[in-house]
């Protein structure tokens, strides 16, 4: 399957330069579709509407997003896809949906390199992703798999395109530093019911049994190690917390588009 674009539910054959300028300021939500279903679809709708109200001062009804998602599925002729919904505005709101093949979760635990960095307006999934790509590339150039961020006060926040959580036994700990509340993170927290939301200082990394990355592609990708300056904390597989997380996810079924 080749990637394609739909603008307001219609296939986009050519790209107007004005469209490229307009899409520079906006927000988005990415999702994996399997058999026409999406994990946390209602949370995607809520995110897109809330962000549209904040960024553009206009609501974005769930019915409109659903209609464009269904148009994307019909155009692709498949219920197994990767979809990214970009929201931008000229004088009215527009939805630009990128359709691509499905992406399977990762299988190799990544080695993360820590950087002091705090995203602008981190609670929004906005289109300003230069910094995320930049630090991810710097980590790769240094021989690591990706970047993880910490605040100026030395608290872990999030990774380049993931939320991160930690485990002590079956207690799952989420950093309380400002981050984007990812859809998978919200689903995991809902399924867990009982979890900790607390500062995660860099100095505490060795005290955890495991760390996991979570996003629309990877529900719980185990972290192999986190390097902070000259110090590296490595994590071995931890079936106890992995099974606990898997059970939490299984408690919320996917929703049909």
169-184 residue pLDDT tens: 999 999 999 999 999 9
| Helix, strand or coil, per DSSP, at residue 34 | strand
Token duo for residue 93:
């709101």
Q: Which residue has the tokens 């946390």?
A: 40
Tell me the domains of the chain and their CATH numbers: 4-100 (3.30.470.10), 111-250 (3.20.10.10)
How many Å apart are CA 14 and CA 6, to the nearest integer? 11
| Helices and strands, number each (H, E), in the chain | 6, 17
- The helix or strand, by DSSP H or E, that contains position 66, with its residue range, turns out to be helix 62-76
- Kindly indicate the confidence band of residue 16, based on its pLDDT and cuts at 50, 70 and 90: confident
- The helix or strand, by DSSP H or E, that contains position 41, with its residue range, turns out to be helix 41-56
| Helix, strand or coil, per DSSP, at residue 182 | coil
- Residue pair 114/202 in contact (Cβ under 8 Å)? The answer is yes
| Helix, strand or coil, per DSSP, at residue 118 | coil
E strands, the chain, where? 4-7, 10-11, 27-33, 37-38, 81-89, 93-100, 111-116, 146-150, 156-159, 163-168, 171-175, 196-198, 210-214, 221-222, 225-228, 231-234, 255-256
Strand order from edge to edge, sheet including 10-11: 10-11, 4-7, 93-100, 81-89, 27-33
- pLDDT higher at 4 or 17: 4
Residue 141 sits at φ, ψ, to 5 deg, of -65, -30
Token duo for residue 73:
């599925």
pLDDT tens per residue, range 149-202: 999 999 999 999 999 999 999 999 999 999 999 999 999 999 999 999 999 999
pLDDT in the model for residue 222: 98
Count how many Cα atoms sit within 13 Å of the Cα of residue 101 in the half-sphere of its side chain.
4
């Amino acid at each position: 399957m080749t990637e394609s674009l739909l603008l307001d539910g219609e296939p986009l054959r050519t790209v107007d330069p004005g469209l490229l300028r307009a899409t520079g300021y906006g927000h988005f939500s990415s999702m994996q579709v399997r058999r026409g279903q999406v994990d946390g679809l209602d949370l995607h709708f809520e995110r897109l509407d809330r962000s549209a109200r904040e960024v553009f001062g206009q609501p974005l009804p769930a019915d409109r997003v659903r209609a464009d998602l269904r148009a994307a599925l019909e155009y692709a002729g498949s219920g197994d896809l990767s979809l990214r919904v970009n929201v931008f505005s000229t004088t009215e709101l527009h939805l630009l949906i990128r359709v691509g093949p499905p992406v399977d979760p990762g299988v190799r635990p990544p080695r993360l390199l820590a950087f002091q960095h705090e995203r602008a307006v981190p609670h929004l999934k906005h289109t300003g992703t230069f910094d995320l790509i930049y630090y991810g590339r710097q980590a790769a150039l240094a021989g690591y798999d990706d970047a993880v961020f910490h605040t100026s006060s030395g608290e872990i926040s999030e990774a380049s395109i993931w939320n991160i959580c930690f485990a002590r036994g079956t207690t799952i700990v989420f950093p309380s530093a400002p981050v984007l509340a990812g859809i998978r993170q919200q689903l995991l927290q809902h399924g867990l019911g009982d979890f900790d939301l607390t500062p995660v200082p860099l100095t505490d990394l060795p005290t955890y049994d495991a760390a996991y990355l979570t996003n629309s592609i990877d529900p719980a990708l185990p972290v192999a190690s986190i390097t902070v300056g000259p110090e590296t904390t490595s994590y071995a597989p931890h079936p106890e917390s992995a099974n606990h997380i898997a059970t939490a996810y299984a408690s919320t079924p996917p929703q049909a588009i």
